[in-house]
A = this chain, B = another copy of it.
Amino acid sequence: MAEDRAGWSVPAHADRAREFAALHRPGAPLLLPNAWDVASAAALVAAGFPAIGTTSLGVAAAAGQPDGVGVTRAATVELAVRLRTVRCLLSVDIEGGFAPDPDGVAAVAAQLAELGVVGVNIEDGRADGTLAPVAHQQAVITAVKRAAPALFVNARTDTYWLTPAGWPTPQAAAGAAAETLDRLRAYRAAGADGVFVPGLADPATIARLVSGVDAPLNVLYLPGRHTPAELAGLGVARVSCGSLLFRAALAATVRTATAVRDGNPVPADLPSYAEVAALIDGLARAGG
C-alpha cells in the first residue's frame, strides 16, 4: 500500500487494476459511465459509480477537436493527469492509440498507467472509415500489454460502429458478425483483457459473441434498444455509456439557456453553486 498526498493508504496500481478487472462479470455487468472533464467524473463518482470511463467524443469536443482522428493525445493525457484527484477506477479511451506504430501506442498506455489509469480502450476503426488490419491491431495490443502488464486492455472493434459512410450497411451487417468474432478472438489471443463492440444491438449476435470469445464482452448502451438487465441476461460483462452522458449534458445546456431566454421554467433539482464548489474542493483536500 502506498500513500497519496494526503497521507492516506491507497492500493498499488496493479491491485486497483485487478479490482477493475474483477468488476467485469458476465451476467452482472459493470455499468461504466463516461466522463470528459474533472467535474463530470467527480459528480459520477459522488453518485456512486466506482469506475469511470472517458468518452473520446466528449474529450475532443470539449477541447474543440475532432474525435477519432488521433489528434487528442494531449487533451486525453491532460485529463488523466487532472483526474488523479478523483478517487475512482479510471479507464481511458485512447481511440486508435495516438500513434501509427505499436511501440508508440504502448508509450501512451504506459504513460497513462503511470498516472494511475487502470484501463484503456483501443479501437481498430480508422479515421478514413476502414478497419486496421488484424495483425497490426494484435501487435498494438501485445505491445501495450508488454509495456503496462497490469492495464486492463479493452480491445474495441468498429465492425458495427459508425463510419463516414454510415455503418452498418445491410451488406456489412450480414458479414459483420463473423468478422467481429474473428477479430475479437484475435485480439484476445494477442493479450486483450476484454473486448468491446459498440453499435451492437442484436441479442442473438451478442449471445454468439459472449459464447464464442473467452473474454468479458463490453457493449455500448443504446437507448431504447435494450436495458442493462437485458444485456446482463445475454452474458455481457460491461456496459458503457459512450458519449451519451456528454450529449445529455450538451442538450441540457442548450435547453436551459433557451428556457431562460423564452421565460420558461428551468429544472429545479440542480446542484447549487456551493454544492459544486464543495465537490471540487473535496478533491483538492483528498489528494490533489
Task: Name the residue in A83, A274, A280 with the highest tally of chain B Cβ atoms < 10 Å from its Cβ.
Answer: A280
How far does the alpha carbon of A242 sit from the alpha carbon of B273 in the complex, in Å? Answer: 10
Residue pair B37, A37 in contact (C-beta under 8 Å)? yes
**Residues of chain B contacted by A245 (CB below 8 angstroms):** 252-253, 256-257
Chain A, 164-222, CB within 8 A of any chain B CB: 221
Judged by a CB distance under 8 angstroms, whether A12 is at the interface is no
**Given A247-B271, A247-B276, A276-B250, A82 and B57 touching (CB < 8 A)?**
no
**Residues of chain B contacted by A224 (CB below 8 angstroms):** 265, 268
- Interface residues of A, CB < 8 Å — how many? 73
**Given A67-B277, A162-B273, A261-B228, A249 and B247 touching (CB < 8 A)?**
no
How far does the alpha carbon of A171 sit from the alpha carbon of B203 in the complex, in Å? Answer: 65
**Residues of chain B contacted by A162 (CB below 8 angstroms):** 273-274
**Residues of chain B contacted by A2 (CB below 8 angstroms):** none
**Residues of chain B contacted by A270 (CB below 8 angstroms):** 244, 247-248, 250-251
Residue pair A49, B257 in contact (C-beta under 8 Å)? yes
How far does the alpha carbon of A85 sit from the alpha carbon of B66 in the complex, in Å? Answer: 13
**Given A61-B276, A265-B223, A39 and B250 touching (CB < 8 A)?**
yes
Judged by a CB distance under 8 angstroms, whether A44 is at the interface is yes
Residue pair A82, B63 in contact (C-beta under 8 Å)? yes
Copies of this subunit? 2
**Residues of chain B contacted by A4 (CB below 8 angstroms):** none
Residue pair A47, B271 in contact (C-beta under 8 Å)? no
Task: Name the residue in A44, A62, A268 with the highest tally of chain B Cβ atoms < 10 Å from its Cβ.
Answer: A62
Judged by a CB distance under 8 angstroms, whether A54 is at the interface is no
**Residues of chain B contacted by A35 (CB below 8 angstroms):** 253
List 28 A-B residue pairs with CB atoms under 8 Å apart, sorted by A's residue number: A31-B257, A33-B253, A37-B37, A38-B64, A39-B250, A40-B253, A43-B254, A47-B257, A57-B277, A61-B280, A62-B62, A64-B83, A64-B283, A65-B284, A66-B281, A67-B277, A245-B252, A245-B256, A245-B257, A247-B273, A248-B253, A248-B255, A248-B256, A248-B266, A249-B250, A250-B270, A251-B267, A251-B271
Given known contacts A43-B253, A61-B279, A245-B256, what 16 new A-B pairs fall within 8 Å (CB)?
A35-B253, A37-B62, A38-B61, A39-B61, A44-B253, A47-B254, A47-B257, A49-B257, A57-B276, A64-B82, A64-B280, A65-B284, A239-B260, A243-B276, A244-B270, A247-B276
